[in-house]
């Protein structure tokens, strides 16, 4: 069974993550990047929505068990490839020449929340799911590139509070903070609202892409500089007590 699929709803592409908690590992990064490339090759697409079909989760973030297994086996290259692969996904979303909407249908933790921040707009169910950066509690530091683009989605004073506390936020709370466009009453309402919004964004790819390229040029520089080289110790992923 594929870990994600995509369909067209008229001119709106919808990626549906379909692997339960949608933990992110090398396969996740490679599959999502290939899917983003496939979608944008279709010139009729005017917007993209990313969501999940799990009853509880949008994405629970990094597949820590997969990373720990690789590190215990001293297989560091796949972990580096995953980190760089997700950075490539984030950069692709930042510069995607059509609007990208995260339809957050359940829990978005860690890299799941970060993935939504790489999108242009966010909608979230109000009846289920929390939005959270638990890294402070599990000893994983945010990478420079992540912090750079998270600031475009979340004001710095709110982002710092989220990162320092690891607190969980509901959709109504995020709506009040203007982090999401709308808190939606149910799963059905979430997709209706996200698709309806996507259909209002009939922008020409050339100008939309150029605006994003110039608006996010500083963020892209940080992402490019944050590329994980083979000489970087892999244990910098974790911070001990």
Q: H or E stretch including 9?
A: strand 4-9
Domain range summary for the chain, segments of one domain joined by +: 4-199
Report residue 241's pLDDT band, with 50, 70 and 90 as the boundaries.
low
Report residue 235's pLDDT band, with 50, 70 and 90 as the boundaries.
low
Report residue 1's pLDDT band, with 50, 70 and 90 as the boundaries.
confident
For residue 115, which of 80, 88, 144 has the smallest C-alpha distance?
Answer: 88
Alpha-carbon distance of 147 to 154, in angstroms, equals: 10
Token couple for 231:
């000489």
Please report, for residues 85, 136, 207, 223, 229, the alpha-carbon distance to residue 233 in angstroms, rounded to integers and kept in the order given.
17, 20, 41, 18, 9
- The answer on pLDDT for 239 being more than 60 is no
Question: Which CATH architecture best describes the domain 4-199?
Answer: Alpha-Beta Complex (3.90)
What confidence tens digit (pLDDT) does each residue in 113-161 have? 999 999 999 999 999 999 999 999 988 899 999 999 999 999 999 999 9
What does pTM read for this prediction?
0.95
């Amino acid at each position: 069974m594929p870990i994600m699929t995509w369909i067209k709803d008229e001119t709106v592409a919808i990626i549906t993550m379909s692997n339960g908690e949608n933990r992110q590992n090398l396969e996740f990064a490679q599959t999502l990047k290939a899917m983003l490339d496939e979608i944008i090759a279709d010139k009729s697409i005017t917007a993209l929505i990313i969501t999940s079909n799990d009853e509880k989760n949008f994405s629970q973030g990094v597949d820590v068990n997969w990373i720990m297994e690789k590190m215990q086996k001293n297989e560091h290259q796949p972990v580096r490839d995953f980190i760089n692969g997700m950075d490539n996904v984030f950069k692709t979303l930042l510069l995607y020449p059509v609007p990208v909407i995260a339809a957050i249908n359940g829990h978005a933790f860690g890299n799941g929340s970060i993935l939504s921040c790489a999108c242009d707009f966010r909608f979230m169910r109000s009846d289920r799911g929390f939005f959270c950066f638990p890294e402070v509690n599990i000893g994983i530091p945010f990478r420079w590139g992540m912090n750079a683009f998270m600031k475009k989605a979340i004001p710095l004073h709110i982002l710092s509070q989220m990162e320092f506390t690891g607190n969980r936020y509901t959709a109504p709370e995020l709506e009040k903070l203007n982090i999401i466009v709308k808190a939606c009453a149910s799963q059905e309402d979430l997709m209706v609202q996200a698709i309806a919004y996507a259909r209002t964004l009939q922008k020409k790819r050339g100008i939309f892409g150029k605006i994003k390229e110039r608006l996010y040029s500083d963020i892209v520089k940080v992402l490019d500089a944050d590329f994980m080289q083979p000489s970087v110790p892999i244990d910098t992923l974790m911070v001990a007590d």
